[in-house]
Structures are given as C-alpha cells and as structure tokens.
Structure 1
Amino acid sequence: MKLPPGLSAPPNSVCKLERSLYGLKQASQQWNHKLCSVLKASGYTQSRADHSLFTKGSSTAFTALLVYVDDLVLAGNDMKEIERVKALLDAKFKIKDLGVLKYVLGFEVARSSQGILLYQRKYAIDFLDEFGLLNAKPTSTPMNYTAPMSKDAGSPLSDLTPYRRLIGSLLYLTNTRPDISFAVNKLSQYLDCATDIHFKAGLHILKYIKGAPARGILFSTASDLYLTGYSDSDWGTCPDTRRSVSGFCFFLGSSIVSWKSRKQLTVACSFAEAEYRALALATCEGRWLTYILRDLQVPLHRPITLFCDNQSAIHIASNPVADILTKSLASGPFAKIHCKLGMHDIHVPSLREADRRESSS
C-alpha cells in the first residue's frame, strides 16, 4: 500500500498489508459507493425500485446493468455503449469479460428462437449429489398432501445444520422454480425446531427436483407486454399459529416474472379477510413491478389485471360506501352512496305533498 500522507519514512517505502480489504467491515460499502459513482458519472441512472439496477437509454437505444457485489450483467440493444462501458469498467477496476451470458450465480441461460430459458440444472444436480439422491426415484409432487405438517410432528433432530443447509439451498432454487415455493416456505418455518419428519419432507422436495432438474422459466419472444396477477390464500391452515397463507404470481404476457408464497403476519378472522390480505400483498408487488418495468423502458399500455377468486374480498377492496367518509366526491357518486347510509329526511314527503296541493289548486 502507498504510505498515507504525513507519515515519515525512507523513500520508496510501502506499507505491509496485514489484513485483506475483503475482511474490513466498510469494504463492501466503499466498493458499492465507488462503483455507483463511476456508473452515474458515465450517464447511468440508479433504479429507485432496485438499487442494483442501472439503466441508460435514449429514444433509439437502451442499456441495463445489473450488479451483484462484484458480478455485473450487461444487456441492451446498443453494442457501442456496451463496449464503451466495459472498457470504462476495465480501466477503473480491471474486470474480466466472460462474453455472452451463459452462467451466473448458479443460474444457467439458454437462448433459442422461442425465447430465453433461465434454469439451475448444475446447481440442482450438485445439490442432489451432496445429499446422495442422484439415483433416487423421482416423485410427482414436491410435498405429500396427505401428511399435514406441524411443529410437533416427529422426533427432534440432534443436529439442525444439515436441515438448515437443505432449506437454504432450496430457497435459492425457488428463484427459478415457483412450483416448489409453497413446500419450501412451509419447511422453512421449522428451522429452529426441525424433526425427522421435516427433514424427510425436505428430501421429498429433492426427489421431486430429481425428476426435472433442468426445469426453469421461459421468457417468450412472442409474449405481449400486459401485466397480469393472480392472488389466493388458504385460511387458517397452520396448526401451530392458525395463520393463513398468501400466494400470488404475476405474468408479463405468458411469462411468469414474480411469485411468492408466505404465511400472513396476523391471524385472519375470516376467509374473506385472508383473501383480502393476500390481495393487498399482490397489489404491492404489482406496483413494484410497474416501477421496474418503467426503469427498463417497458411501457404498460393498460392497467394491471389482478384476479381473485373471492367475491367478498373484491367487495372489500372496492369499498364504495366508505368513500363518502374519506374523500370529496362528485354529485353522482355522492348521491349514490348517500342513499345507502340509511339516512332519512322526515320533512321531504310533507314538502312534496304541499307542492302537489299547490300545483293542483
């Protein structure tokens, strides 16, 4: 290291580095600050919805850069800009260009005329090999629906480390496997009290993955740019907390782009309330997706369509009667809601009767 200013030492002296910069607590923050400043100075805009996304665009060209620590992914339709920013980053940080994206952070990318497939085959196979299930018989579903899961089921494990490693790896696999999201979310609730039943259920998920380790998400080239969401819930099914499960997924055209399965934070008192909470969670996700798509210069020409299979939750979401208590309304909507409040004017009939008498005379 170069000597800091003010330190007296013989000429051409250097400091011996006793500790790696990667071991310093502030190293990651300083690295991110330096990278962000370089990209912003080069004309890139940092997304407010996802701080790891940087974009630069014009009426005819667009470039996006995604950052994960010191791994960067570049995409866009302006090859001159892509080459320019790669040269800039190489001059500043001495990067290594790996060429066309094929593998990054455990994700594999395959391209064809039908679209781009994102999958984790190598990650899944290494995972199966670690737990000795490469030759196991595949299962048809990720979880046995005839065996309800609870905290007290089975005998407690003496060592929780293998179970936690199993669930942690499965959680990362859900990034391209929405079909196992519910099962993994269910088992992740027992990390501090896992039993042999829970561990067996985790291995059951691995056997399901064994049947199709290369299954992933296809981003179709023929997909339209309409965002559609689906929301659902399961009321009070957790035998330990009696809390409900929320689930949603969003499609951009025919391609799934977001999904989640999670237990609700509070106990719902009715099926309609559970559905409404799931609907609210999906709405927040839909809004976030619109911000991301706006940063990627993907225009949405119509509102998001969000489907829910519970009429009571839909009526709660529309909430027409309470509008009169929360906002100013035009005469038409005001009169429509006003008549539903159960209010009456006892003088109106007599006045109308008097008017009829005067008109008849």
Structure 2
Amino acid sequence: MDVHNAFLQGDLDEEVYMLPPPGYRQKGETLVCRLHKSLYGLKQASRQWYSKFSAALCDFGFCHSESGHSLFYLNRGAASVFIILYVDDLVITRSEISLIEEVKAMLHARFHIKDLGTLKYFLGIEVARSANGLTLNQRKYALDILKDCGLLGTRPMDTPMEQNLKLDNELGTLLSDPSSYRRLVGRLIYLTVTRPDITHAVDILSQFMHQPRQTHLDAAHRLLRYLKATIGQGLHFSCNSTLELCAYCDSDWASCPMTRCSTTGYCIFLGDSLISWKTKKQHTISRSLAEAKYRAMAVAT
C-alpha cells in the first residue's frame, strides 16, 4: 500500500499502518503495512486491545461497572461473575463455579490465554485463603522497599510517625537529589492499598514532593522502620461477615502549619471488613472544630 509518511504517526480512517521491517523495502519506496491487529509499542495498541476485549465481554453479556472501566460484571439469576482487567492480565471471581467455566471457555475461544489457577499474587498484592476468609498483604513489596533503601537491618519502631510532628516547607536542608524521595513516597502510596495504618503518614509525606528536605526524608525513614515491625500486616475479609455498611469519620482542626487547613479521615466497613478509607487535607479553612468535623462527615457520606 502506497501511503505518504505523514500518515504514519496517527490513524488513517480508523486503520493503523507501520513501516515495513528493515530489508523489506527498497530505496525510494513509500510503502507501509496495514495492521490487522495491535502491536506492542504503538500508541494505538492499548486502545485497540481494550476495545477488542471489552467488545468480546459485552457480546457475551457483561456490563461495564460504573466504578471503573476495567471492571466488568455478569449477572445470571442468582449467579454473578466479575472480571478486573489490568493491561492484559485478568482476575476472575464468581459466585457459582459453572458460570465461570463458561466464561473461561469463551475467553479461550476468543483469545490466547493462560489459566494460572487460584489467585495468589497480583500486582504486588499477596492473596491468602483460609476457612475464615481472605487476607491481602504486600509483604514482598514492603521488603523490596526496605531493601532498596538499605534498611532491612534497621531497628523497628512501634508507630509510623512521631507524635505531634509538624512538617513544613522551611525546616531542614534541601535534598541534593529529590528523585529518591519522590520514588520512595510513590512506592509508599501504592503500599497503602493494603495498609490503611500508614495512610495518614504517607499523605503528609506526599505534600512535600516538589521540594523535599532532610526532615521529610527522616520522617519517611521512620515510617520504613515501622514497616519493618509490621511487615506482614494487611487486610482480612471475613467469609462470615454481614452486609451491614458502617462508616466512621473524624477530623482535626487547623493542623497544617502552612495552610491552617484541617485534615479529614474516614473508614468504611462492610460488616467486619474494611473496604474503603481515606485521609485528605480539606480544601477550605474551617472556623471551628465542629465545622471541620461536619466537612469530614460530608466527605465520608
């Protein structure tokens, strides 16, 4: 197909083209190849793959979840199947074994997939099953963070942050290489997926990514020493839990020394299982503790 090179950087009538491999084109030719499937490395590849996969699931009867485009669900009577997609990795769960076998047969017919069996490890999250329920933790991920920072042999601490510690933008010397601090805090943010106990400390540390100082790095290392003492902690989802939804929220008052904004915190339980939590600085300055708590209640609701 003879197409001008100007079209090679984008779509051409919703089709994708690429230059031929070296050795398949003579000097002076302007031939390109029309792709019938997406290839890794192309900017259109991720969109094409998601479109193809979601279309296959929707044809089978799946629906998109309103909470995220990577979550699909299928209801047939009392039975349900849920699929979560991350790039080309899938996690499938169900309420009835016969329905999931039907879904897996459909996926095998449409795609080249490999069934890895019962979920044990996914995106750094370890999954353990017992008669009491399901446990999620990031033990290996936390150990990797400690190893990269050279703190595997450090002395453990009982708390993630010093009591009444107030960090700001002025105390301490500027770090000569702020990228290491930013990388560390970024990894700690992902660790909060299964560690709600460090969420508040990580929220404070993430406020100084633009210009980190030595005091901020010392507080981050203090948090790592706490992780050393609680390396195996995670979330437990009980199989005997009720479906009663219960939420707790709280707020301090004008705790930020730089903006005088209050901090909201909440956690939501489904029966005995913690399913949602958050800590975040409020956008406006509250004039009283009661106002700060009402704002926290509104966010939690």
Q: Same fold (TM over 0.5)?
A: yes
Task: Name the aligned partner's letter for residue 197 of structure 2.
Answer: D
User: How many residues of Structure 1 are paired with residues of Structure 2 in the alignment?
Assistant: 273
User: Is 1:60 the counterpart of 2:78 in the alignment?
Assistant: yes
Matches within 5 A, 1:250-265: 250-265=268-283
Query: Over aligned residue pairs, what C-alpha RMSD do you find?
Result: 2.2
Q: Which has the higher helix share?
A: 1
**1:58-100, CA deviations, whole angstroms, 9 ceiling, x for partnerless residues?**
2332111111222211001322322222232233231221110
**Deviation at residue 268 of structure 1 after TM alignment:** 1.6
Matches within 5 A, 1:332-343: none
User: Is 1:90 the counterpart of 2:105 in the alignment?
Assistant: no
Q: How far apart in 1 are the matches of 2:78 and 2:249?
A: 37
Tell me the equivalent position of 2:243.
Answer: 225
**1:172-204, CA deviations, whole angstroms, 9 ceiling, x for partnerless residues?**
000000000000000000001110110111111
Task: Name the aligned partner's letter for residue 81 of structure 2.
Answer: T
Tell me the equivalent position of 1:30.
Answer: 48
Q: Which of the pair has more CA radius of gyration?
A: 1
Q: 1:67 to 1:251 in 2, by over 3 A?
A: same
Matches within 5 A, 1:261-272: 261-272=279-290
**Deviation at residue 271 of structure 1 after TM alignment:** 1.5
**TM-score for both structures, normalised by structure 2:** 0.85
Q: How far apart in 2 are the matches of 1:29 and 1:275?
A: 43
Q: How far apart in 1 are the matches of 2:34 and 2:57?
A: 31
Tell me the equivalent position of 2:125.
Answer: 107
Q: How far apart in 1 are the matches of 2:296 and 2:260?
A: 16
**TM-score for both structures, normalised by structure 1:** 0.72
**1:156-182, CA deviations, whole angstroms, 9 ceiling, x for partnerless residues?**
111111000110000000000000000
For residue 211 of structure 1, the aligned residue among 229, 234, 250 is 229
Q: How far apart in 1 are the matches of 2:184 and 2:95?
A: 40
Structure 2, unaligned stretches of length 5 or more? Answer: 4-14, 17-23, 25-30
For residue 178 of structure 1, the aligned residue among 192, 196, 207 is 196
Tell me the equivalent position of 2:266.
Answer: 248
Q: Which has the higher strand share?
A: 2
User: Is 1:42 the counterpart of 2:56 in the alignment?
Assistant: no
Tell me the equivalent position of 2:135.
Answer: 117
Matches within 5 A, 1:299-314: none
Q: How far apart in 1 are the matches of 2:79 and 2:191?
A: 34
User: Is 1:165 the counterpart of 2:165 in the alignment?
Assistant: no
Identify which range, 270-279 or 38-47, moves more after superposition: 270-279
Q: 1:201 to 1:80 in 2, by over 3 A?
A: same
User: Is 1:79 the counterpart of 2:81 in the alignment?
Assistant: no
Q: How far apart in 2 are the matches of 1:76 and 1:14?
A: 45
**Deviation at residue 14 of structure 1 after TM alignment:** 9.3
Q: How far apart in 2 are the matches of 1:241 and 1:51?
A: 36
Q: 1:21 to 1:153 in 2, by over 3 A?
A: farther
Q: How far apart in 2 are the matches of 1:250 and 1:206?
A: 26
Identify which range, 82-91 or 181-190, moves more after superposition: 82-91
**1:226-248, CA deviations, whole angstroms, 9 ceiling, x for partnerless residues?**
00000111111100111110000
For residue 136 of structure 1, the aligned residue among 154, 171, 188 is 154
Identify which range, 203-212 or 141-150, moves more after superposition: 141-150
**1:298-343, CA deviations, whole angstroms, 9 ceiling, x for partnerless residues?**
xxxxxxxxxxxxxxxxxxxxxxxxxxxxxxxxxxxxxxxxxxxxxx
Tell me the equivalent position of 1:194.
Answer: 212
Q: How far apart in 1 are the matches of 2:181 and 2:169?
A: 14
Q: How far apart in 1 are the matches of 2:165 and 2:245?
A: 36
The alignment partner of 2:201 has SS state of helix
Task: Name the aligned partner's letter for residue 277 of structure 1.
Answer: R
Identify which range, 142-151 or 195-204, moves more after superposition: 142-151
Q: How far apart in 2 are the matches of 1:243 and 1:169?
A: 26
Q: Which runs of 4+ in 1 moved over 6 A?
A: none
**Deviation at residue 128 of structure 1 after TM alignment:** 0.8
